[in-house]
Structure 1
Amino acid sequence: MKDFFEVLEELYKKICMFQNQDKLLAHMAANCLALLLYFQLKEKITLSNSWIAFCQKNLSEYSESNKVLYCLWTLTVVMKEIFKDTCSQKTEILKQFLTPFDSVFEGFYNSLFSQHFESHQDTSKTVNSLICFLEMLELLTASRIHLELHCTCQRIVFLKPSCVLDVITWPIQAFVKRKFIIFVKKCLLRKLGEDLCRGSVPSFRPPDCHLEGDMLALADAVLQAVALGLLRTLSIHGKPSCFGGGELQPGCEQVAGPDHVILRAASLLIIKSLEIKFQNCASVTEMQGNSPNSFGMRSNG
């Protein structure tokens, strides 16, 4: 066991050493570290205190450094391994893993999404952090949906949905907005994590009133955001595809068609939010207050 911890500490040092020199090596070291950490969890070995402290420090003191990305990469890989495992102790393993980071994830969530994106001169690092953390959020939220565990960090999207929805209104690249819209849509459809959980999650689970309440809170937030003009911040114009990923040559310009992905996702997002809201409405008056007309979507008939 001593040799195991020596390997773990060596990987930890490699990540620190390569983080500003060779990002590929640092990424590979982070993946190896994640697999070793998962082995520790599965074998009920106490996690490395130095690694936990390293992640807690960097995620609680959010900055746009590479250390944050390496922490997120490692945490994400560990969670993916937990999801893919078919053992019956999956929930217990996940609880052991999330417990040291429960409050840290919440603080990081608040810090990351409270930034004034338009004031940043170099937005690439913020975008990288958003994309990396979004993958982590998908896994955390998926574990809330598919596993019987109730850590605060698993519910953070439901507890503070406006943070995620606000990103869609930021002056940020269209692909980032698309990812966040699809994420919220998959939350409401309970489709997150299906590719990882397939075959290892019971086909039937008893009703979870707390999860139903979380879904209603998210649906409410979506409908409120739509009423405040969320859809007006979306660009539905796609960019012409070019073989090889390059730019179109002069004289070969084409008219860009609509972005069908974002159109479908936004439509499903609103429809599912309305469905959840209607299912939980207490009166006809409340249902009428949440009809499409109340969001300015009047028919031409």
Structure 2
Amino acid sequence: MELAVSCGDRSTWRDRLTDVYRCVQTGSRPSQSAADVAAVVFSSVCAAAAAAGADCHDNSVELTYISVTLVEKITSSLTSRSLPAAVTSHCMEIHRVLFQDLDLMAHLGVVSPVWEQKCVHAFHSSPPGPELDACLWSLTEVLKRLVKGSPREILWKLVSAFDSSLSALCSRFLPGEKTEDCTSRRHWGTTVCLLLDLLEVLTASSLICGAGVCLKSQRLTHIHSSALLNTISCSSEYYVKKRVLLLLKRAVLLKAGEDWALGEPLFTGLKHEHFNSDMSMLAQSVLTAVAADWLESVQVDSSSFFGGSRRTRGDGGQKADCVMLRGVSLLLLKSVEHHIRTDAGTGAVSATEVFGYLQRLWGFLKRCSGQLTEVTHLCHWVSLLFGEQDDDMMEAAKASLSIFLHHRQCSGLDDSAVLEAACASGCNPHCHFLFLLRSVAFDHSILLDFLISTETCFLEYFVRYLKYLRADWRGFTAACGRISMSDCLLSTQKPLTASCGGDTLGGPGPAEVSSSLHPTGAEMISSIAGLRLVEYGSSDESDPEGMDCQDEPGTSVCSALDVKQEISRPSIPVRQKQYESSHSTGLPRHPNSVLEGRPGGPSPPEQTSCLPLSARAVFCLSELREVVTRLQTKKLFPYNPSSLLKLLVQVENCSQQSQLSHFNK
């Protein structure tokens, strides 16, 4: 197709395209043939790339807009079937010639050479300012749209056009070593934040490339991870520090782009050729920086609110910025976990080295948050810090479990000594799980909420912990005793009054503190002796379609409508879920989901709350098993939970055997 046309020809094309658009809009048949219309549309789209001179370029851009608008109008009219038969036949022929004979789609992804040239020049040499900002923003927005749904070939073609210039840009703005602070330059903060947005989009694009080729520019976050950590230390702008930290956190969690990816995870599970080396590079950069006292240079301000940061006279009651605390904690925990996973086979990772990182993290948290210094049990810090960030809390718990299992394997200590050392470093998995259950008031419906959510992190953590729990029941009961002892000590001291909100850090609420001591096995048996599970007496709790709920007495049921609501609704923080579980009807709280005592006995909530900690935990898991079993029977569970149910049954068996052994003694 000939593209070397004059500006006058383009004016004629504009008139012809406008005439066709009016005909389609009014439902009349255009006078031009389908082949002629398709040729003009195709030439108009391709001519923009070949335009020379400012005037001709402007005309070409206008022509492209008109052409694409006409194609959209024809497509929508054909889809809606709103045109007369003769006009429909004509438009279908135009559509066929464009997309089959001329393959228009292959040309729509062509990068404008003028825009490309301008961006490349800005990336190589422009200082921080409006010109560079405009180029960064435009490329970021285009890439976002391509990441969310375009063919990978188009995305790869666009990224490859800017590959070398983006690498040069990062080398200019993110030096590898600490240098003089350049953050005082005008426009620097805005430009760097736009660059960070672009880096996140590029990182997200690497997650969807699967096993294909990954360009260097898609790996810039990992390649320049040391420089990004230096930016957190050296930048004078606090919002830049936080933005960099969030980028690194999302990179290590494989969640880059989660804010704008329409709630769908971008990572497909397929890894590009540099994936493992890039993750190792990021983890090693973090651990090297932490070993060099990087945490000492991390600034954590008071939390910000709509009215500002609340820096007022007498600011003793201000809370630390939990976004920064959570970001640093997760970045370090996940880096240690990856370090263990990749180097454990070589024996290069010692237990002393790993717990050294944890001690540094604990020192950082105590320095930055006065509330954490009041914690009497170090393992409480995970649920305390991540209380209203469910996904982050599960990631932290899963990483801590991996760290503990590595320490258990390579330390050479017996189980009791390993658990003591884990409690001293705040990573005993039994304690983490018990604090998690207590933070949700031992409500099995919230655990079910986690299991059926689109996030798989809790399921991965839960299955892995249950496998460990069935092999170390003695350690679990010991952890229950330690937590109960800690609660007793806490009740004699000043209670923790802070709370961990979305941006502020504090202590447990009243529902989180239990004063029950850990009893003997005989006492546990006597506590539960008069209790039984209630069976349904009617089908009132059935689903709207009249689903029969009486086929399995003694098990919990969840209606189809309830499950659909639970699966489709957005994620709700732990503490909000805990509140709603006692004030709304989310997942069903049927009579058989609680223990019923003898006539005249206390109400079900009072009965479960007075049980010892281990019994409450086991009962919660038992209720969860019943609900999942019922959902599986009704074919309402979103995946096959057979392995999970098997583990839950094994845990219940461990509990029963433990009770019997104590009773026999």
TM bracket (short chain): 0.7 to 0.9
Tell me if the contact between 2:233 and 2:299 (Cα under 8 Å) persists in the aligned partners. Answer: no
Give the equivalent residue in structure 2 for 1:96: 157
- CA distance 1:82–1:227, change in 2 (3 Å): same
Report the RMSD for the aligned CA atoms in angstroms: 3.5
- CA distance 1:62–1:290, change in 2 (3 Å): farther
CA deviations on 1:150-182 (whole Å, 9 max, x unpaired) are 111011222232121110111422221111111
| Corresponding residue SS for 2:274 | helix
Give the equivalent residue in structure 1 for 2:172: 111
Alignment counterpart, residue 117 of structure 2, candidates 38, 53, 76? 53
CA deviations on 1:88-128 (whole Å, 9 max, x unpaired) are x2x101111112210000000000113955256x4341111
Deviates more, 1:97-106 or 1:155-164: 155-164
The letter of the residue matching 2:144 is K
Whether 2:153 is the aligned partner of 1:126: answer no
Give the equivalent residue in structure 1 for 2:240: 176
Determine the C-alpha separation between the residues in 2 that align with 1:207 and 1:194.
Answer: 18
Whether 2:292 is the aligned partner of 1:231: answer no
Determine the C-alpha separation between the residues in 2 that align with 1:170 and 1:203.
Answer: 32
Whether 2:346 is the aligned partner of 1:283: answer yes
CA deviations on 1:224-281 (whole Å, 9 max, x unpaired) are 011111111122231563x544977x77856321111111110011100000000011
- CA distance 1:68–1:205, change in 2 (3 Å): same
Determine the C-alpha separation between the residues in 2 that align with 1:74 and 1:270.
Answer: 33
Determine the C-alpha separation between the residues in 1 that align with 2:121 and 2:105.
Answer: 21
The letter of the residue matching 2:346 is S
Tell me if the contact between 2:207 and 2:267 (Cα under 8 Å) persists in the aligned partners. Answer: no
Determine the C-alpha separation between the residues in 1 that align with 2:266 and 2:133.
Answer: 33
- CA distance 1:45–1:186, change in 2 (3 Å): closer
The letter of the residue matching 2:332 is I
Q: Which runs of structure 2 are paired with 1:1-301 in the superposition (5 Å)?
A: 1-2=43-44, 5=48, 43-85=107-149, 87=150, 89=151, 91-114=152-175, 116=179, 118-119=181-182, 122-148=184-210, 149-198=213-262, 204-208=268-272, 210-239=274-303, 241=305, 243-245=306-308, 255-281=317-343, 282-288=345-351, 290-293=353-356, 297=360, 301=424
CA deviation after TM superposition for structure 1 residue 59, in Å: 0.8
Return 5+ residue gaps in structure 2 as ranges. Answer: 1-42, 59-64, 73-103, 363-420, 425-665
Give the equivalent residue in structure 1 for 2:617: none
The letter of the residue matching 1:277 is H
- CA distance 1:292–1:53, change in 2 (3 Å): same
CA deviation after TM superposition for structure 1 residue 84, in Å: 2.2
Give the aligned length: 271
- CA distance 1:156–1:289, change in 2 (3 Å): farther
- CA distance 1:128–1:53, change in 2 (3 Å): same
Tell me if the contact between 2:202 and 2:218 (Cα under 8 Å) persists in the aligned partners. Answer: yes
Return 5+ residue gaps in structure 1 as ranges. Answer: 14-31
Deviates more, 1:140-149 or 1:255-264: 140-149
Tell me if the contact between 2:232 and 2:244 (Cα under 8 Å) persists in the aligned partners. Answer: yes
Determine the C-alpha separation between the residues in 1 that align with 2:126 and 2:304.
Answer: 37
Tell me if the contact between 2:214 and 2:274 (Cα under 8 Å) persists in the aligned partners. Answer: no
Q: Which has the higher contact order (CA 8 A, sep 6+)?
A: 1
- CA distance 1:254–1:280, change in 2 (3 Å): same
Q: In percent, how many aligned pairs have the same letter?
A: 23
CA deviation after TM superposition for structure 1 residue 207, in Å: 4.7
- CA distance 1:226–1:135, change in 2 (3 Å): same
Give the equivalent residue in structure 1 for 2:456: none
Q: What's the TM-score, normalizing by structure 1?
A: 0.77
CA deviations on 1:205-235 (whole Å, 9 max, x unpaired) are 3454531221111101111011111111122
The letter of the residue matching 2:193 is I
Determine the C-alpha separation between the residues in 1 that align with 2:137 and 2:230.
Answer: 24
Tell me if the contact between 1:240 and 1:257 (Cα under 8 Å) persists in the aligned partners. Answer: no
Determine the C-alpha separation between the residues in 1 that align with 2:257 and 2:318.
Answer: 33
Determine the C-alpha separation between the residues in 2 that align with 1:203 and 1:171.
Answer: 31
Determine the C-alpha separation between the residues in 2 that align with 1:139 and 1:183.
Answer: 10
CA deviation after TM superposition for structure 1 residue 204, in Å: 4.8
Determine the C-alpha separation between the residues in 1 that align with 2:269 and 2:255.
Answer: 15
- CA distance 1:145–1:290, change in 2 (3 Å): farther
Determine the C-alpha separation between the residues in 1 that align with 2:105 and 2:236.
Answer: 38
| Corresponding residue SS for 1:142 | helix
The letter of the residue matching 1:261 is V
Tell me if the contact between 1:41 and 1:96 (Cα under 8 Å) persists in the aligned partners. Answer: no
